[in-house]
Amino acid sequence: MVPRCQVEVLYFAKSAEITGIRSETLSVPQEIKASQLWKEIEAHHPGKEVDEVEEKPKDIIKFTAEKLAVEEVSRLVISPLCGAISLFVGTTRNNFEGKKVISLEYEAYLPMAENEIRKICSDIRQKWPVKHIAVFHRLGLVPVSEASVIIAASSAHRAAALEAVSYAIDTLKAKVPIWKKEEEDAESGGRKQWPLTVKDKGRSGVWSHFYAWQEMYEESSSSWKTNKECFWANNK
């Protein structure tokens, strides 16, 4: 039997990307040439030649009533092939048009919302060379200062990731069926507002959705205000 020994192998740079680890311990013959050691390492990691290393792009979409965590979302888009991760975090602010806001409440038509976000991801990939995309949106009550939406994208260089995330939030606001109610402090008017889904037959003759906001006051009066960011509201 050939005497063997334990050797710690350290991986850096490209070798770490290929193997997915930083170090490991291998059992090798006590007397071994460098070329033989290289073959031992290759045998221990079959199918991981440099030209074959390629991660499949991921689109990760999630709606949840749980608190959103920036670190969790950013971790999902990490790739050794990328040098940039861009994030957008939308939080609940404590004011709206001079009124004190206590919380927001979100509701979504999930099948349509998820489908629209997948379309956004597809559009992003046609416009920018991004690797992974993650879109997390909170549902239910969201207290002041907590995140209601987190969008992350990774790319080889920062410009693509930055532009992709900016496009994602702008398009989400314009096209995805998510309803928001703002609950305000009673001392500042006690107003609650829900957006109203309105169907609009555009120039193409196809019925599409856009959203308007209903503002309700304690005095039982109400007024309607169109969401200015909505695509269909501005392209009737």
107 is in an annotated binding site: no
55 is in an annotated binding site: no
181 is in an annotated binding site: yes
173 is in an annotated binding site: yes
Q: How many CA atoms, within 13 angstroms, populate the side-chain half-sphere of residue 122?
A: 6
Cα–Cα distance between 115 and 118 in angstroms, integer?
5
Strands (E), 97-205: 99-108, 130-138, 140-143, 147-155, 178-184, 192-201
| Beta carbons of 87 and 73 less than 8 angstroms apart | yes
Sheet holding 130-138, edge to edge: 59-64, 130-138, 147-155, 84-91
120 by DSSP, 3-state: which?
helix
Q: What angle do CA 67, 69, 70 make, to 5 degrees?
A: 145
Place of tokens 């392209």: 235
Record the tokens describing residue 206, joined without a space.
């196809």
Cα–Cα distance between 149 and 69 in angstroms, integer?
10
180 is in an annotated binding site: yes
Q: DSSP assignment of 4-17, as one string?
A: EEEEEEE--HHHHH
93 is in an annotated binding site: no
Record the tokens describing residue 42, joined without a space.
């290759």
Q: Which residues are annotated as part of the binding site?
A: 157-158, 173, 180-182
Annotated binding site for substrate: 157-158, 173, 180-182
